Structure 1
Amino acid sequence: MSKRVIYWICQVLGWGLYTLFLIGMMALFGGEGYITSSSLILQGIIYVSLILFSHLFKLHIQRSNWLELRLSKLIPRAFVGTLVTAIVTQVFIHLIIYLIFPLSGISGFSWSGFIGYVFNIYIVLILWASIYFIIKFMEKNRKSELEKLALKSALQEAELMILKNQVNPHFLFNALNNIRSLILIEPEKARKMVTHISDLLRYSIQFNASEKVALKEEIEIVKDYLQLESIQFQERLSYTFNISSETLKVQIPPMAIQLLVENAIKHGLSTQKNGGQILVSTSLIENYLLIEVKNSGQLRSSQKREGIGLKNLVERMKILFGTFAEFKLENSSNQMVSATLKIPTS
């Protein structure tokens, strides 16, 4: 149902109830003798007049853009406007019942009676105008909130695309550096690295337009990444996966686990002469998915552990999950560092 139809239904029913109220007051205080054909016709004229002139007042409000005014300017205009509308309405009614269509049984014209009728209509029109302005301001505020939400959503989507596009070049840069270091001395291993990189880039391109991917697909690409890194690290890198089967279908941001593993190798294992190990585990606790990547080493305050990749991951988590997602990087023991993602599943 359109707003225009609703408006006219409210006009007809609202002023109809007011007219019935007047008739009821006549019967209550004046007795049945006051309910005559002339009095009912008069109430019908008042009813039509109120619908007509309140609508004209509404058109004036719209054409004059009163709804765009501040309250300090709107309120005086509203009071004056309702007073003018009440006077014009009563002039119209009096012209009909005394000149155009005289009604029998109606007392003669008097200025005191006219002023009293104007005052009564003025009070009713103030109520009508108050309801109208309240509804319009509620609609305006709701529209403003929807526009803000739409703008915020568009901004977040744009930010997400920018952050995702920053992640892939960052990883590619590191991978190409690995190839460069091996391409002359161990070309066979370099060729294997190129194969793994092609799988990783295919995954990156395929899911670049997606906000989330299944954890199972992310784990497969992490395995490719670790195989690629193990070629360079040889015996200095070992890794273990402890993935709960119930987490495999949970949706996560693409490249999230890969970034944690990449960070663990770059800032943890690569700084240690004997390398170390990486443990990737997932579990479901209540309504949250816990992803934990542990690596050998210790987190020191002097180390710059959060590069552009991790910072972008944290931003992506905020955009996708708000304050419900958590990221923590800490020493979990004397030999291990733990990076933990806590992602809501519902």
Structure 2
Amino acid sequence: MRFFIKILLICILIGLAFGLYTYYTINHRPEQVYINTLSSVCIGGLLCILIYNRHYFINNLQNPVGKIIIILGLLIIVALVGTELTLLLRSALWSQQPFKWFNGGNIYILNTIIVFVIGIPMYVSEEWRSQLNSRILQQQYRLLQLEQQQTVFELELLRAKINPHFLYNVHNSIAGLITTNPQKAEQLVILLSKFFRFTLNKNSSTFHTVADEVEIISTYLHMQQIRYENRMQFNIRVAPTTNNLLIPSFILQPLVENAVKHGIESSSDKGSIDVTIQLTGEHIIITIHDTGPAFPEEPSSGMGLQMVMNKIKLLYPTGYSIELINQPSKHVRLSLPGRN
């Protein structure tokens, strides 16, 4: 109600201003002030009703051109109806002549031009405001999703970061090396301790630097290399420009773990893991190669890979990609927007 009262007062003020200007410069009849005020209220009121209720007419349209055509048509209707209403009231209140439909002459053209000049900027402004509010609501909803899923993510991260099967194998390897190669057993214990420090004591922030993530996977791969001895080689190449950039926390380790599982563990032959991180334009490109069997046409989404995909989708609504590629060599390619 306050909004409509405000609009009514604005229309009255505009009509009074134009009427007084006409009275002092062109037509010195007092009723001219009233007529202009009445015209402003009639046409301005209809215009505001149209603009602020436009969703009833264009809500289901996706084509911007179609929306503009409908709005222009409705603005013409507003100008014609508002003019006829003004002429009707003027005839009833001041004129001695009977009212006749569409008997206003050039006033229809003038009022249509005025409605276009005022209505089109109003429409554009309100559409922009509506889209801005919609984006703000989407951002708020996305933040709410992040908060609601924080606990779930922490549980998923713990399961993905510390695979019980992996820990069981490492402990068995340590037990076997204690008598045959105590030096390697000690090295494996130190690496396992370092890995625990990263995965359990590292703060659970949403983003880590590339350097931190690389140190996590480097520790993990060193442990696996000791386990598999001569069967496994790995290489990590990181562009220096990416070290301080931020990526989602604990997002590389599940991908590397999948590469070890399918590229080394599933084969009795020698294999290698190659990780490359570089900056291309404004995107961080991460590739993880392994020498295992090619990805199937419809790869199954394991828990680790699914967790990575879900987190990326939530943190990056657009501008990301994750691909499983077999040619010219088997690798996972992850592209993320670079951020400091």
* Counterparts of 1:81 and 1:314, CA distance in 2: 57
* Counterparts of 2:280 and 2:15, CA distance in 1: 56
Residue in 1 that maps onto 2:322: 327
* Counterparts of 1:227 and 1:261, CA distance in 2: 12
Say whether 1:255 aligns with 2:250.
Answer: yes
Stretch of structure 1 that moved more, 312-321 or 49-58: 49-58
Residue in 2 that maps onto 1:307: 302
Stretch of structure 1 that moved more, 277-286 or 260-269: 277-286
Residue in 1 that maps onto 2:104: 119
TM-score where L is the length of structure 1:
0.64
Shift of 1:159: 6.8
Q: Any idea what SS the aligned residue of 2:305 has?
A: helix
- Identical-residue share of aligned pairs (%): 17
Q: Is the 8 A contact 1:263 1:305 kept in 2?
A: no
Residue in 2 that maps onto 1:102: none
Q: Any idea what SS the aligned residue of 1:249 has?
A: coil
Alignment of 1:78-227 (within 5 A): 83-89=84-90, 91-92=92-93, 94=94, 110-111=96-97, 119=104, 123=108, 138=124, 141-154=127-140, 156-157=142-143, 158=145, 161=149, 164-165=153-154, 167-172=156-161, 174=163, 176-181=164-169, 183=171, 186=174, 192=190, 195-202=193-200, 205-207=203-205, 210=206, 212-227=207-222
Alignment of 1:209-288 (within 5 A): 210=206, 212-288=207-283
Amino acid paired to 2:165: N
* Counterparts of 1:332 and 1:58, CA distance in 2: 61
Q: Is the 8 A contact 2:213 2:250 kept in 1?
A: yes
Q: Is the 8 A contact 2:15 2:40 kept in 1?
A: no
> How far does the alpha carbon of each residue in 1:193-230 deviate from its partner, in whole angstroms, 9 at most, with x for none?
762443232466422xx2x3321121122223223434
Q: Any idea what SS the aligned residue of 2:257 has?
A: helix
Shift of 1:58: 7.3
Shift of 1:111: 0.6
Amino acid paired to 1:256: I
Shift of 1:48: 4.0
Q: Which of 325, 332, 336 is the matching residue for 1:339?
A: 332
Q: Is the 8 A contact 1:289 1:345 kept in 2?
A: yes
> How far does the alpha carbon of each residue in 1:78-111 deviate from its partner, in whole angstroms, 9 at most, with x for none?
666664444235544x2xxxxxxxxxxxxxx531
> How far does the alpha carbon of each residue in 1:143-183 deviate from its partner, in whole angstroms, 9 at most, with x for none?
54345434543554527947845741441451x22333455
* Counterparts of 1:287 and 1:182, CA distance in 2: 39
Shift of 1:141: 4.2
Q: Is the 8 A contact 1:200 1:221 kept in 2?
A: yes
Q: Which runs of 5+ in 1 are unaligned?
A: 27-34, 95-108
1:258–1:141 CA distance, 2 compared to 1 (3 A): same
TM-score where L is the length of structure 2:
0.65
Q: Any idea what SS the aligned residue of 2:224 has?
A: helix
Q: How many residues align?
A: 307
Q: Is the 8 A contact 2:295 2:330 kept in 1?
A: no
Q: Which has the larger radius of gyration?
A: 1
1:325–1:67 CA distance, 2 compared to 1 (3 A): closer
Q: Is the 8 A contact 2:15 2:37 kept in 1?
A: no
* Counterparts of 2:229 and 2:11, CA distance in 1: 79
Cα RMSD over matched residues?
Answer: 4.9
Q: Is the 8 A contact 1:281 1:293 kept in 2?
A: yes
Q: Is the 8 A contact 2:12 2:37 kept in 1?
A: no
Q: Any idea what SS the aligned residue of 1:239 has?
A: strand
> How far does the alpha carbon of each residue in 1:92-145 deviate from its partner, in whole angstroms, 9 at most, with x for none?
4x2xxxxxxxxxxxxxx5316x65998369836666667776666556644543
Q: Is the 8 A contact 2:15 2:36 kept in 1?
A: no
* Counterparts of 1:68 and 1:250, CA distance in 2: 43
Q: Is the 8 A contact 1:86 1:121 kept in 2?
A: no
Q: Any idea what SS the aligned residue of 1:200 has?
A: helix
Q: Is the 8 A contact 2:319 2:336 kept in 1?
A: yes
1:303–1:200 CA distance, 2 compared to 1 (3 A): farther
1:302–1:232 CA distance, 2 compared to 1 (3 A): farther
Q: Is the 8 A contact 2:42 2:82 kept in 1?
A: no
Amino acid paired to 1:343: L
Stretch of structure 1 that moved more, 284-293 or 161-170: 161-170
